[in-house]
Amino acid sequence: MKPAVPHPKEITLTENRELRIVWIDGHVTHFSLQYFRDQCPCAGCQGESDIFGDVRMPIQLPVTKPGKYELKKLTSVGNYAVAAVWGDGHDSGIYSWEHLLYMENRQAATSNTPGDPAGN
């Protein structure tokens, strides 16, 4: 049997324009809105697999629409996820609790990368 995934007990937008997630087990996660949007799990952002398992990425235009990193709304999706609506109209990303925890671990791994000892 698969262990239960922790779920958020509170999600708020801070004054610093970060998402603050307080999980039921007590730990707290912070995501900048840019990171949260850039990690959108929808097929339009992350690509989708064909029948052979090859991931096909959508065409990405080099133009950023105004409002891309402006979070307009978060709504719950059942008891397993939240859906985001962004200022540029994008609304197809559903962030499951598992995906949020994956994002947290990925963010932590990236920020723990040793820096340049010379300070460059």
Q: How does pLDDT run across 24-70, given as a tens digit for each residue?
A: 999 999 999 999 999 999 888 877 776 777 767 666 655 677 899 99
CA end-to-end distance (rounded Å), the chain: 49
| Residues found in the chain | 120
**Share above pLDDT 90 across residues of the chain, in percent, rounded to a whole number:** 65
| pTM score over 0.85 | no
Sequence ranges of the domains in the chain: 8-48+67-111
Q: What is the CATH code for 8-48+67-111?
A: 3.30.2020.30
Q: Do 95 and 41 form a contact (C-beta atoms < 8 A)? A: yes
47 within 8 A of 57, measured Cβ to Cβ: yes
**Closest of 92, 12, 82, 85 to residue 44, by C-alpha:** 92
Structure token digits, residue 2: 């698969």
Please name every residue paired with 29 in a beta bridge, in sequence order, or none if there are none: 21
